[in-house]
Amino acid sequence: MSLCSLIELIIFLRGKNVVSRFKKSVLLTMMLILLVGLLVACGGDEGTTDEDGNWTGTITIWDGPRWPDADDNKYHWLEEKKAEFEDMHEGVTIEIVQVPWAELPDKLGVNIAGESWPDIAPVDISGSAVSSEHIEQGVIEEVDFLSDDDLSDFYDNALEAYTFEDKLYGIPNSITVHSMLLNLDLFEERGVEPPADGKWTWDEFLETAEALTFDRDGDGEIDVYGFSTYILEGYYEAWPFFYKDGGQPMNDDATEFTFNSPEAVKAIQDLADLKLVHDVAPMAHGGAEVGETFQAWANEEQRTVAMQPWATWAIQSAQDAYPTNFMVAEYPVGDLGEPLTIGGVGGWLMFKQESEAKKKVVAEFMQFISDTDEQYRMAVEYGVFPARISAADMDPYADNPQMARAQEMSEQVVMVPSHPQWKQIDEIIQGKLQVVFNGEKTAQEAMDEAAEEIERILD
């Protein structure tokens, strides 16, 4: 019975003199009891621990949609693992909360603020709701339960991404890289040779982009552009270009903004000039439209751009959802002399636990879903690179040359700077980059302005 119905009933009975002898305090007490009951009903369940220290109860795990099964269920993998784990651990229930990937950071952030976090969640530590401040405040549990043998099975850069002050705060599960995707049909149409083994210099890239920009129907309007990408906070497809001449956004210990260095400024201006000077990129180049940019490359009805940089997911998308004849190439090499790309590391985080007994079971489940077999399966089915060396050694992309080529680029990965205020810094940089790409400011002007604003944050 709802609170409103109860009050209405009391008033009705009062009118009929049924409860006229009831004191007001009794009515008030009843209402309070109901209210407290409602609030208690919203509380969580911490489970129970027996005399031997064995914990039973519910573990909550959040996850986003992964690859579909025959019934188009994109959570079937975790549901299978849940069933297996529950069979092995009587009294333990795994509760799966399905959260779309796009909503996960916001939802997790709100739940952290409300101290109602899940036990486990998949978090890309390089750009998520979780920051080093949360680690400092004890929201994230340290991963101190992996053996040395187990730890040595992970790639170093994957472990580094989840390491804070020499302690590990997550189990790396996957690595993603950004790579250049080249539409080979358009190369063929223009008689342009793609770069051998996907390696090229900036000059070769520019030459290729010029050759791929053309007016197909002779109406005086360009129908296909050589290249385009977008600029948006939290997204780094364009950024490997900015590193090509040796520039980087911050110095190594993230205490100084360095994207206004001559090397970075030149690289930023070079990429913007593809549209502003060379006319080999459309007006959308450097805008904030993610979906439209991808559609322009992948959608069969468009295909108005020949080359775009994308994260790993786009390779699978171009193989399945948008079948495209394409190849994977590296980012062009500039004055630095070697190719670079930006990567991300996904993994499982354990949130603060009330008891050591529960933490032990949660840890067991985390290991259960991130062992070598699961990472191999994730690589084959879901299109992410394993964070475990043993899973990569199983050669998950033996039948997938494009993914295999992208995986080779894992060695070129640099991570975005790790700083507690990175989101604010990133917002300033990306905002200034946008005005460079729409021609309102030069790269030097924009990055000098960014430096001024970022210095205030760093101070």
Partner 1 sequence: MDGSEALKEEIQPNRKENKKVHEPNKRNIWQEMKKNYASYLFLTPKLILFTMFIAIPVIWALVLSFQEYRVTESNIFVGLQNYIASFESTMFKKALWNTFRFTIVTVPFNIISALIIASLIFPLGKLSQNFFRSAFYLPTVTSMVIIAMVWRWMYNYDFGLFNHILGWAGIESVNWLGQSNSALWALIIMQCLIPFGVGIIMYLASMGAISKNLYEAATIDGAGPIKQWLYITIPLLKPTTLYLVILSTIGSFQVFTQIIMMTGGGPDGATETLVHLIYKTGFRDFDFGLAAAQSVILFGIILIFSVIQFRMLRHDD
C-beta closer to partner 1: residue 173 or 434: 434
Burial label for 121, CB within 10 Å (0-12, 13-18, 19+), is: buried
Count of CB atoms situated within 10 Å of the CB of 360: 14
Nearest of 374, 371, 240 to residue 309 by alpha carbon: 240
CB of 27 to partner 1, least distance (A): 9
| Neighbouring residues of 270: CB distance < 8 A, sequence distance ≥ 6 | 202, 241, 244, 334
Amino acid occupying residue 52: D
First vs last C-alpha separation in the chain? 56
Nearest distance, CB of residue 59 and partner 1, angstroms: 20
Of 231, 259, 272, which is closest to residue 417 (Cα–Cα)?
Answer: 259
Residues pairing with 327 in the sheet: 182
User: Does residue 198 bind partner 1 (CB under 8 A)?
Assistant: no
Candidate list 181, 435, 443, 447; residue touching partner 1; CB under 8 A: 435
Question: Rule CB under 8 A: is residue 364 a binding residue for partner 1?
Answer: no
Joined together, the tokens standing for residue 376 give: 């191999």
Residue 390 is a binding residue for partner 1 (CB under 8 A): no
CB distance 392 to 386 below 8 Å: yes
Binding to partner 1 by CB under 8 A, coded x per residue (else -) over 256-295, reads: --------------------------xxx--xx-------
Amino acid letter for position 61: I
Q: Which range, of 64-72, 238-246, 341-349, 435-443, touches partner 1 by CB under 8 A?
A: 435-443
Whether 246 contacts 263, CB under 8 Å: yes
Report, in Å, the least distance between residue 14 CB and partner 1. Answer: 8
Q: Does 127 bind partner 1 (CB under 8 A)?
A: no
- 246 contributes a contact to partner 1 by CB under 8 A: no
Binding-site size for partner 1 (CB under 8 A) equals 42
Which parts of 65-124 interact with partner 1 (CB under 8 A)? 106, 109-110, 112-113, 115
Shortest Cβ 420–partner 1 spacing (Å): 10
Two tokens, residue 150: 């187990």
Contact 181, 297 (CB under 8 A): yes
Amino acid letter at 20?
Answer: S
Which positions lie near partner 1, rule CB under 8 A?
3-4, 7-8, 10-11, 14, 31, 35, 106, 109-110, 112-113, 115, 129, 131, 133-134, 137-139, 232-233, 282-284, 287-288, 352, 421, 423-424, 427, 431-432, 434-435, 438, 440, 453, 456
